[in-house]
């Protein structure tokens, strides 16, 4: 590898790549390789600290290797519990890929979207194997990027009867609820811990409108 060549993919690049992959197939293949001993996961490195009183921050380093595809890399994901109060994502990070022959870094990828999609794909794959064919109620603990990614991905594969959202910041839960409702009939009813339920109910002049009922409706 050229000493000066290091590929970087930002969040926009990652979003374009999403359109060309099947996350469930990728995750299923990785899990299969792990079960067969063809994938290895290294020890997780963790460092925690308190930036200010009442906040908790951490950095995680999670290396892994897929032998069949000759892919080796690590995920660095950091978080601060105080970030949402400042309008920032709670977690963010990078994914690093290494040349399998020289072990030198070759690719740097914005990691938050990859981490969220991978997490949601594992959950969705598990739900598909465990479902009994009946509509499900999806409970989201937290209303951040991972929660939204779970809802959107699961709606593609599962029959979701309703969504329950809890976040320690009620306004974040309400924002996610309204966003999901705006996506249409794949989310029939969406409720927040504050007791508001959004039910998409057709079209009117100016766009889709929603009805709000008691959380007991779910």
Residues 53-109: tens digit of each pLDDT:
889 999 999 999 998 878 999 999 999 999 988 888 889 999 999 999 999 999 999
Residue 23 to residues 98, 193, 205, Cα–Cα distance (Å) = 21, 30, 37
**pLDDT at residue 148 is higher than 50:** yes
**Cα–Cα distance, 201 to 106 (Å, whole number):** 49
Residue 113 gets which letter from DSSP? Answer: H
93 and 135 co-located in one domain: no
164 and 86 co-located in one domain: no
Could you tell me if residue 119 is inside a domain?
Answer: no
**pLDDT at residue 27 is higher than 80:** yes
pLDDT value, residue 59 = 97
136 and 84 co-located in one domain: no
**Cα–Cα distance, 191 to 217 (Å, whole number):** 9
Residue 92: partners with Cβ closer than 8 Å, 6 or more residues away: 77, 78, 79, 111, 112
| pLDDT-wise least confident of 41-45, 119-123, 165-169 | 165-169
**Cα–Cα distance, 19 to 7 (Å, whole number):** 20
**Domain that includes residue 27, residue range:** 7-112
**Cα–Cα distance, 202 to 200 (Å, whole number):** 6
**pLDDT at residue 113 is higher than 50:** yes
19 and 84 co-located in one domain: yes
158 and 209 co-located in one domain: yes
Query: What would the pLDDT profile of 174-191 be if each residue is shown by its tens digit?
Result: 999 988 988 876 676 787
pLDDT value, residue 213 = 39
**Cα–Cα distance, 65 to 131 (Å, whole number):** 30
List the one residue out of 170, 169, 218, 159 whose CA is nearest residue 191. Answer: 218
**Cα–Cα distance, 147 to 164 (Å, whole number):** 11
Could you tell me if residue 77 is inside a domain?
Answer: yes
Could you tell me if residue 207 is inside a domain?
Answer: yes
Residue 37 φ/ψ, nearest 5 degrees: 85, 10
**pLDDT at residue 208 is higher than 50:** no
Structure tokens at 124: 């969705």
Question: How many Å separate Cα 157 from the centre of its chain?
Answer: 16
- Top pLDDT among 193 and 140 is at 140
108 and 11 co-located in one domain: yes
**pLDDT at residue 203 is higher than 60:** no
| Mean pLDDT to the nearest integer, 113-139 | 93
pLDDT value, residue 18 = 84
Q: Which residue has the tokens 């979207």?
A: 113
List, in sequence order, every residue forming a beta bridge with 108; answer none if it has no partner: 8, 96
**Cα–Cα distance, 183 to 123 (Å, whole number):** 21
Could you tell me if residue 122 is inside a domain?
Answer: no
Could you give the number of structural domains in the chain? 2
């Amino acid at each position: 590898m050229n000493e000066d060549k290091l590929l970087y993919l930002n969040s926009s690049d990652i979003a374009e790549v999403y359109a060309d992959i099947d996350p469930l197939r990728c995750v299923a293949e990785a899990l299969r390789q792990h079960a067969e001993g063809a994938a290895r996961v290294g020890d997780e490195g963790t460092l925690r600290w308190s930036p200010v009183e009442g906040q908790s921050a951490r950095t995680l380093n999670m290396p892994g290797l897929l032998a069949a595809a000759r892919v080796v890399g690590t995920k660095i994901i950091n978080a601060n519990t105080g970030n949402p109060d400042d309008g920032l994502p709670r977690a963010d990070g990078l994914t690093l890929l290494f040349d399998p022959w020289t072990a030198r870094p070759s690719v740097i990828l914005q990691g938050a979207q990859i981490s969220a999609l991978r997490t949601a794909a594992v959950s969705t794959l598990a739900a598909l194997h465990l479902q009994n064919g009946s509509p499900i109620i999806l409970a989201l603990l937290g209303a951040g990027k991972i929660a939204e990614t779970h809802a959107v991905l699961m709606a593609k594969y599962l029959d979701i009867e309703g969504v329950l959202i809890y976040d320690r910041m009620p306004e974040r839960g309400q924002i996610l609820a309204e966003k999901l409702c705006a996506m249409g009939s794949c989310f029939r009813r969406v409720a927040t811990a504050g007791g508001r339920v959004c039910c998409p109910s057709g079209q009117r002049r100016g766009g889709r409108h929603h009805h709000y009922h008691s959380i007991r409706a779910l």
